Amino acid sequence: MTTRRKFLTTAGVAGAAALAAPAVHGATKIKWRLQTYAGPALAEHVVKPSVDMFNAVQDEMEIELFTADQLVPTGELFRAMQKGTIDMVQSDDDSMASPTEVTVFGGYFPFASRYSLDVPVLFNQYGLGDIWRSEYEKVGVRWLSAGSWDPCHFATKDPVRSLADLSGKRVFTFPTAGRFLTQFGVVPVNLPWEDIEVAVQTGELDGIAWSGITEDYTVGWADVTNYFLTNNISGAWAGSFYANNERYQELPERLQKLIDMMMDHSHYYRQWWYWGGEADLRVNGPKMELTSIPDDEWQQVEDAAVTFWDEIAAESETKAKVVQIFKDYNDVMNKAGKPYRY
C-alpha cells in the first residue's frame, strides 16, 4: 500500500510537470493576414464576426483582418496574395483584377441572380465552384468558397425615374457592371473605395451602383446621396474567399476545416443581415427617397443583359460554360415559379 501511494504521488507530480511543459510543435502560432475589399464599417458585419470567432475557438492560428486598401489597393489584391504578401482575401474576382476566365462574373454580372440564395446554389449545386477552383489552380491560388451579398442598386444625388435620367451620370461601380451600363449612357468611374463619399460631395461622382441600401446606410453613402433606385441590375453580389496556395497547404487539416466553418458563418451572417436590412431600410430608412423606373421601360435593361451574356460567352469556352449554367439555372427557377421567381 505504501509503495502504491508513493507511485501515485510520483505519477501525479510527473503528470503535472508534463502538462506544464510547453509542446514544442505548438510553440509558434500560425499568423495569417486577410484583407477584405470591404471598408471598415462594412467589414464589421461581413467578415469581422467570423474572423473573431475563428481566433477565439483555437490558439494555434491567428487571422489578422485588414479592410479595403489598408495593405494594398483592392485592384492589387490578387497579385499580393499570389506572391504571399497577403495570405487570404475576401473579394469578388472583378474588383481584385483576377487574371482568370471567370473574373468577369465576379461582383455583379448583370441579372445573373435575382435573390441572394441563387449564388450559393449556383456554386454548390450547379457547378460554378468546380469551375472557379479549376481556374484558380491554373494561377497558383486556392479558391475556397463563394457567397452572396446585397443586390446592386443606384444611389444618386438627383432622382432617376427613367432610363434617360441615367445618361451622363458619373457612377462608381464594378468593372463589368460599368461595361454593361455604358450602353445606357452611364459613365463608370474608378476611385479608391474610401474616396467615394467625398467624391459624391464634391460632384466628381453623380452616384454609386455598388451595393444595396444596407451598405448605403452602413458606410455613409446614404448621407451624401438623396435617392435610391429600386430597380437593380443584379439580385446579389457574388464574391469569394481565396488563399495563397502554399500557405493553405501548410495548414493542418483541422485548421482548414475551421476556416471552412468560418467562411460558412460569414456567408450565413450576410444572408440574413442584408435580406432584413434591405427591406427595413426601404420602409423605415429616413435618408433617401425611393424612385423607380417603370417595369416596361426597365425591361430594355433586362433584354440587353441577355445580349451581353452572349457577347461574354463568345469570348472563351470557359465563359460560355458559365453563361450556360446561368441560363440553365434561371430556366429552372422560372419554371419552378413562386417563390423562386415571380
Give first-to-last CA distance, the chain, whole Å. 82
User: Which pLDDT score is estimated for 193?
Assistant: 86
Percent of the chain with pLDDT over 70: 92
Whole-number Cα distances in Å, 70 to 61, 74, 80: 22, 9, 12
Asked whether residue 16 carries a pLDDT value surpassing 60, the answer given is no
User: Which pLDDT score is estimated for 27?
Assistant: 62
User: Which pLDDT score is estimated for 342?
Assistant: 82
Locate 260 and state its grid cell: 471552412
The tens digit of pLDDT for each residue in 145-167 reads 999 999 999 999 999 999 999 99
According to CATH, the topology of domain 152-236+286-336 is D-Maltodextrin-Binding Protein; domain 2 (3.40.190)
Angle at which helix 295-313 crosses helix 317-336, to 10 degrees, equals 140
The tens digit of pLDDT for each residue in 230-240 reads 999 999 999 99
Locate 174 and state its grid cell: 464594378
**Helix H or strand E encompassing 19:** helix 2-20
* Phi and psi angles of residue 210, each rounded to the nearest 5 degrees, phi first: -130, -10
- Torsion sign, CA atoms 237, 125, 276, 113: positive
Looking at the DSSP assignment, which residues form a beta bridge with residue 66? 35
User: Which pLDDT score is estimated for 297?
Assistant: 98
Mean pLDDT of 134-155: 97
The tens digit of pLDDT for each residue in 168-216 reads 999 999 999 999 999 999 999 999 888 999 999 999 999 999 999 999 9
Mean pLDDT of 88-109: 96
Asked whether residue 10 carries a pLDDT value surpassing 80, the answer given is no
- Residue 1: pLDDT band (50, 70, 90) is very low
Cα 181 → chain centroid: 21
- The C-alpha atoms of residue 210 and residue 208 are separated, in whole angstroms, by 6
Model-wide pTM > 0.85: yes
Whole-number Cα distances in Å, 135 to 206, 248, 317, 319: 36, 17, 12, 11
- The C-alpha atoms of residue 128 and residue 291 are separated, in whole angstroms, by 34
Does 3.40.50.720 match the CATH number of domain 30-108+115-147+237-278? no
Could you tell me where in the chain the CATH 3.40.190.170 domains are found? 30-108+115-147+237-278, 152-236+286-336
